[in-house]
Amino acid sequence: MATTSTAALDPQRVQRRTVFLLSSSQLLSGIGNGATLSIGSLLAVDLSGSEAWAGSITTVLTLAAAVSALPLARLAESRGRRVGLVTGLVAALAGSLFMMASVMAGSFLLLLLGGALLGLGTAANLQARFAAVDLAEPEHRGRSLSTVVWAITIGAVAGPNLIQPGAAVGTVLGIPPIAGPFVFSAAGLLLAAALLYFGLRPGPLLLARLKASAATDGATAAARGSIRAGLRAVRSSPRAGLALAAVVGAHGVMVAVMAMTPLHLQQLVGGAHSGHHTTESTDALVVIGVTISLHIAGMFALSPLWGWLTDKAGRFRTIALGHALLLVAVIVAGLGQREPALVTLGLVLLGLGWSAATIAGSTLLAESVAADQRVTVQGVSDTLMGAAGAVGGATSGLVLAGLGYPGLNAVGGAVAAVVLLLAVATARRQAPVAA
């Protein structure tokens, strides 16, 4: 029966529909996270009464994404991608409603809970890129994965610009204006969840297993893994080890440098306007806003290019290029620390390097372990990626205080250089089978 069911479906037709659905859901759910990140720090300060809690929403969101990555992967492994992704998006939808409720109730705890639940949506969005390659042909895996990553660009850019429209909607609905953007967030997440729940049938992972089972006369079965099993699978494959190092290293470097750049630019631009507080604040905010916007554009806008390069030039070369870009980025930002234009250029290169390394590394990881361990390894990858971001963000302030902005970039450069060397060494050892 498995053979008949497989024959009745066109896997490539299902694959095209899957990529379209995943890309659409990324676009819609990206609006939710964009809105949260744009006003989360403002709400945290307002509801807690202290600027010390300004970064709390970003922190709980990042940690929740890391902690929930493996459980969502296990759910996808046992019930299919559709159930795993929809579960994360529905949790994020509840998070948006809690964020809205926190404003109306004046509750900081509700705000933190909302941020944590939104982190499950972030974990689901990360896992969507792996769902894009479940049925993809080897020569198109990079393209499929990068298309889904690229789709989040619109939501990420649009989200921070919804504060004023959201305030207007909040006024119409009779809720505090600052809670208004979460109406857009909840609507986007609801549509994204509904799109996947009703449209992602058959699920790509289940169909891929059905194909494998038919090809092996039913011998292929999914194994319920653990983080220990996932790491053991990675250790057994040099290609998987490189892939994991590529995505985790790139994310840690990117978050650490990006997190402290606004503070550095504030001090840098402020020094140029000492004694003129209003001018200083305005100029600093403009420079910071432009820099972070261009950095985000670098992270996502050229994703299709990196996907194409991953398929055409190979996974190893694109990983090496990504970490080479990260290395150039920290050199430009570190040595050009006194020039806002050079710091901005460094942040753009940082985003480009992160994108290339993440897309190529994720593609390589998806094809470098046994099929029965693949989903678990992907969950482990997202867990470690989130943990690296959390550690990078948490320690970057200490490094900045001790070594300055050039020192922070030097530390990031050391990590990028190690992965670059690892990519070159692994490529040489795996040359006969390198993609």
Q: In which band, very low, low, confident or very high, does the pLDDT at 275 lie, cut at 50, 70 and 90?
A: very low
Residue-wise pLDDT for 10-36, tens only, equals 788 888 999 999 999 988 887 756 666
Is pLDDT above 70 for 434? no
- Among 179, 196, 219, which residue terminates a domain? 219
Q: Which pLDDT belongs to residue 204? A: 86
* 156/60 same-domain check: yes
Q: Which pLDDT belongs to residue 168? A: 84
Is pLDDT above 60 for 219? no
* 154/232 same-domain check: no
* 82/199 same-domain check: yes
* 115/8 same-domain check: yes
**CATH code, domain carrying 160:** 1.20.1250.20
The secondary structure of residue 219, as a DSSP letter, is -
The secondary structure of residue 306, as a DSSP letter, is H
Is pLDDT above 80 for 152? no
* 215/340 same-domain check: no
* 62/195 same-domain check: yes
Q: H-type helices in 216-276, by residue range?
A: 227-235, 238-271
Is pLDDT above 50 for 317? yes
Q: What is the mean pLDDT of the chain?
A: 84
Look up residue 232 and give its two tokens: 């053991």
Q: Are 327 and 413 in contact (CB under 8 A)?
A: yes
Is pLDDT above 90 for 250? yes
Which residues, including other chains, have CB under 8 Å from residue 98's CB and lie 6 or more apart?
110, 111, 113, 114, 117
Look up residue 57 and give its two tokens: 């929403």
Q: In which band, very low, low, confident or very high, does the pLDDT at 281 lie, cut at 50, 70 and 90?
A: low
- Among 219, 240, 273, which residue terminates a domain? 219
DSSP string, 97-113: HHHHHHHHHT-HHHHHH
* 182/250 same-domain check: no
Summarize the confidence of residues 185-211 as an average pLDDT: 88
Q: In which band, very low, low, confident or very high, does the pLDDT at 251 lie, cut at 50, 70 and 90?
A: very high
* 428/400 same-domain check: yes
Residue-wise pLDDT for 80-130, tens only, equals 899 999 999 999 999 999 999 999 999 999 999 998 999 899 899 889 888
* 305/395 same-domain check: yes
Q: In which band, very low, low, confident or very high, does the pLDDT at 278 lie, cut at 50, 70 and 90?
A: very low
* Separation of CA 129 from chain center: 10
From residue 240, give the alpha-carbon distance in Å to each of 256, 315, 324, 366.
Answer: 24, 11, 20, 8
Q: In which band, very low, low, confident or very high, does the pLDDT at 180 lie, cut at 50, 70 and 90?
A: confident
Number of CB atoms found within 10 A of residue 284's CB: 20
* 304/417 same-domain check: yes
Nearest of 403, 420, 397 to residue 329 by alpha carbon: 420
* Separation of CA 290 from chain center: 21
Nearest of 350, 349, 346, 324 to residue 334 by alpha carbon: 346
Nearest of 25, 36, 37, 22 to residue 185 by alpha carbon: 36
Structural domain including 39 reads 1-219
Please count the structural domains in the chain. Answer: 2
Sign of CA dihedral 59, 61, 65, 67: positive
Summarize the confidence of residues 64-93 as an average pLDDT: 92
What is the reported pTM? 0.80
Nearest of 307, 328, 83 to residue 196 by alpha carbon: 83
- Among 193, 219, 245, which residue terminates a domain? 219
Residue-wise pLDDT for 387-425, tens only, equals 888 888 778 888 888 899 999 999 999 999 999 999 999
* 193/227 same-domain check: no
* 193/235 same-domain check: no
